[in-house]
Amino acid sequence: MITSLRYIVMKRILLSMLGAIAVIASVSVRADNQVVMTVGDTPVTLSEFQYFYHKNQSQEDTASTIDRYALLFADFKRKVLEAKACGLDTISSYLADMQRYGRELAQPYVWDNELADSLMRVAYSHFAENVEVSHILISVNPSSGPARAVALADSLYHLAMAGSDFSELARKYSAQHDDGYLGFVSGGTVPYSLEQAIFDTPVGECAVAASAYGYHLIKVLSRRPDKGRVKVRHLLLLTPKDDDARREEVAARADSLYRVAIASPDDFDTLAGQYTEDPSGKNTGGNLDWFGAGRMVYEFEKAAFELADGEISRPVLTPYGYHIIKREAWLPTPDFEEIQPEIKNMIMADERQSMIRRRAIERMWEPAGVEVVEDVYGHVKQLITAAGGFTADVQEELLADTSVVARISSQKVVVNEVVRMLGNASPDNADTACGAFTDMMQQFINLSVADWMVATLPEREPDYANLYNEYSDGMLLYEICQREIWGKPQSDPAGLEAYFQANRDRYTWDTEHYRGMVVMAVNDSIADAALAYLSTLPDTVSSYRTELRKRFLTNANVEHVVAAKADNQVVDYIAFNGPVPTKVSNRWVAFRPFRGEVVSAPTCATDVRGRVSVDYQEYLEERFMEYLRKKYPARINYELLHTL
């Protein structure tokens, strides 16, 4: 996501002038290319103006008249044109931001709705069913690679299918060092690839799946309709793992608390908040979010679903400790429409998102002009097949092959580039090797097609074009205003001072102010020494603070201050005969005035920097707009404008 300060400020500007940046307008934009206004020599179509106008009107509390908005829009366009005239659309920061934003904005368009809906429906079917499963996790050793893990998973699969005790296999081989029983699993509770294997495997059979955690051997024990979701509170007493005597003490304490709980069930939240050892439950009375099958450890889940609403369980032992559970409510499995946002979030967080985007890209192969050069592609497959795999000789020959195997618009995919990306892969048979080459070639093609899709989106998607141009104009608006108006008080201090002196009568004070510096130190002797040292420095010193630190390190400091009486304890003390300051900081206890004076009115811009900076910016804005209106005159077709 784009999070630069420039982006944030620019977004706020457009919010106030033209409506929000990051949403696509809900109104229907007319495909009307009639020119509603011309700013300088640049035409503005009715559809472009309507896009901005409706977004602005839908987000303002009070709608401005269309005529007034047209004048504001013309001023906006003038600033954008001036930014381009100054070359601000060619600077590296602008180009980088636009490239990043263009890709980000294109994401909703690189999406296959048909596949997305199908995957969401499948995911929902997993929410409607619970599968009882046992599981063996086989970790991959980074040094040896996946081959050993794959071989072990395959051996264990055949042993399990032949009737070996799955629990014994799990205790011996699982990386989790338990009997492998997971209990009932519902949709969204395990990694996607593992979930697919679990729900696709018939009862009594086994399957192997790969995930980021390693390889999973699963055995499906039974299936049942989903039992819905429950809402509970719980009180947890943690138990030590290797202290049987202490565990018995915790069990006895849990039993005592259970008796207290059932005696006053309405006070369970108070009891849980006072005694639970679950940190998250201390301030919530043991409250837990709604959950379904597979979301909690098996023992806890089983007890929660067996309770009636309002019922409190006897102490339930889990690997964490003893839980006393109060069930508060139950809900059936939600409808698809109700849970669809949750399912979509799940899909966006795993490999299904890539599947959907890949399908969308592959559907654009024909419009993008993808051409696989069959002679070259066939030659590569024939070479691999004849050698029986991706041998060293085959790899050497293909790395020297500069033939074009595919074309995408003006881009080319070359054989040796594909082979180079395969690296040291050494598939052990011809089919696997041909498949690896094909997959890598398709990745090359898809990357080029994705670039083509982003580049041609403005032509194919009016909403994208409008939003992209809106952001581009907003970036340029920020850059030109920062350069000509907002940054001037800092970049042009002489101009700020000249403006102040020309308008000095506008800046007055009701009371006298101390204007000067204050020396602060850790004791009186250092304060006196620091003051004496500063007095020896010439007026040309760029930073008194830096010079002071060189001599006194962190034992003294100096700051420039402009403050009225009663505004500041230190100023009252050094300039207005006030009491000794107290609790100013943990370090400074001694204070001295340096090159300061009490004045009745500001004498330079820095005395009233905030006020004069705002006024100076407004002054520059007026002058800048006068210049732009002369340079880029606007001609508005009000008759056409009023047809909106």
Q: Which long-range contacts (CB under 8 A, 24 or more apart) does 379-387 make?
A: 379/403, 380/405, 380/415, 380/437, 381/434, 381/437, 384/430, 384/433, 384/434, 384/437, 385/430, 385/434, 387/430
Query: In sequence order, what DSSP letters do the residues of 413-473 get, joined into one string?
Result: EEHHHHHHHHTT---SSHHHHHHHHHHHHHHHHHHHHHHHHHHHHHHH-HHHHHHHHHHHH
Residue 276 φ/ψ, nearest 5 degrees? -65, 145
The answer to the question of residue 384 being in a domain is yes
Give the number of C-alpha atoms closer than 13 A to the C-alpha of residue 131, restricted to the C-beta side. Answer: 27
CB 516 within 8 A of CB 593: yes
Query: Both 589 and 517 in a single domain?
Result: yes
Which among 290, 315, 331 is the end of a domain? Answer: 331
Query: Both 308 and 242 in a single domain?
Result: yes
Q: CA 477, CA 215: separation in Å to the nearest integer?
A: 53
The answer to the question of residue 477 being in a domain is no
Could you list the beta-strand ranges (E) of 24-160. Answer: 35-39, 42-45, 129-138
Assign 3-class secondary structure to 161-228.
HCCCCHHHHHHHHCCCCCCCEEEEECCCCCCHHHHHHHHHCCCCCEEEEEECCEEEEEEEEEEEECCC
Helix (H, G, I), strand (E, B) or coil at 595: strand
Query: In sequence order, what DSSP letters do the residues of 340-380 get, joined into one string?
Result: HHHHHHHHHTSHHHHHHHHHHHHTTHHHHTEEE-HHHHHHH
The answer to the question of residue 249 being in a domain is yes
| Angle, helices 430-460/374-387, rounded to nearest 10 degrees | 160
Query: Both 562 and 577 in a single domain?
Result: yes
Query: Both 374 and 320 in a single domain?
Result: no
Rounding to the nearest 10 degrees, give the CA dihedral for residues 424, 425, 429, 430. -90
576-601 core/surface letters (b: 16 or more CB in 10 A; e: else): eeeeebeeeeeebbbbbbbebeeeee
Query: Both 263 and 311 in a single domain?
Result: yes
CB 68 within 8 A of CB 431: no
Which among 600, 620, 638 is the end of a domain? Answer: 600
- Which pLDDT score is estimated for 254? 97
**Amino acid at residue number 273:** G
Q: CA 644, CA 633: separation in Å to the nearest integer?
A: 23
The answer to the question of residue 209 being in a domain is yes
- Which pLDDT score is estimated for 426? 62
Q: Is 505 exposed, middle or buried (0-12, 13-18, 19+ CB in 10 A)?
A: exposed
Query: Both 219 and 234 in a single domain?
Result: no
Strand partners, 558: 519
Residue 452 φ/ψ, nearest 5 degrees? -60, -40
What contacts 224, CB < 8 A, 6 or more positions away? Answer: 129, 130, 132, 184
Q: CA 620, CA 554: separation in Å to the nearest integer?
A: 42
Q: Which two tokens stand for residue 467?
A: 């939003």
Q: CA 145, CA 391: separation in Å to the nearest integer?
A: 20
- Which pLDDT score is estimated for 16? 45
CB 353 within 8 A of CB 112: no
Q: Which domain holds residue 162?
A: 129-225
Query: Both 371 and 296 in a single domain?
Result: no
The answer to the question of residue 40 being in a domain is no
Q: Running DSSP on this structure, what letter comes out for residue 78?
A: H
Query: Both 246 and 216 in a single domain?
Result: no
What contacts 531, CB < 8 A, 6 or more positions away? Answer: 519, 592, 594
Query: Both 219 and 289 in a single domain?
Result: no
CB 233 within 8 A of CB 287: yes
Q: CA 477, CA 77: separation in Å to the nearest integer?
A: 9
Helix (H, G, I), strand (E, B) or coil at 314: coil
Query: Both 195 and 241 in a single domain?
Result: no
Element (H, E) at 513: strand 513-521
Query: Both 210 and 237 in a single domain?
Result: no
Here the CATH number for the domain that contains residue 282 is 3.10.50.40
The full length of the chain comes to 644
- Which pLDDT score is estimated for 425? 64
Closest CA to 377 of 314, 300, 434, 335: 434
CB 286 within 8 A of CB 233: yes
Count the domains in the chain. Answer: 4
3-state helix vs strand vs coil in the chain, percent to 5: 55, 20, 30
The answer to the question of residue 586 being in a domain is yes
Its sign, for the CA torsion 521, 524, 526, 527, is positive
Q: Which two tokens stand for residue 394?
A: 């085959």
Assign 3-class secondary structure to 216-279.
EEEEEEEEEECCCEEEEEEEEEECCCCCHHHHHHHHHHHHHHHHHHHHCHHHHHHHHHHHCCCH
Q: Which residues of the chain have pLDDT under 50?
A: 1-31, 61-63
Query: Both 238 and 323 in a single domain?
Result: yes
CA distances from 533 to 81, 464, 521, 530, 544 (A): 54, 64, 13, 5, 10
Tens digits of per-residue pLDDT, 193-235? 999 999 999 999 999 999 999 999 999 999 999 999 999 999 9
Tens digits of per-residue pLDDT, 109-130? 999 999 999 999 999 999 999 9
Q: CA 316, CA 336: separation in Å to the nearest integer?
A: 33
Which among 281, 313, 331 is the end of a domain? Answer: 331
The answer to the question of residue 216 being in a domain is yes
pTM of the model: 0.66
**Amino acid at residue number 580:** V
**Amino acid at residue number 504:** R
The answer to the question of residue 36 being in a domain is no
- Which pLDDT score is estimated for 53? 86
- Which pLDDT score is estimated for 23? 34
- Which pLDDT score is estimated for 32? 65
CB 144 within 8 A of CB 205: no
- Which pLDDT score is estimated for 57? 66
Q: CA 625, CA 613: separation in Å to the nearest integer?
A: 18
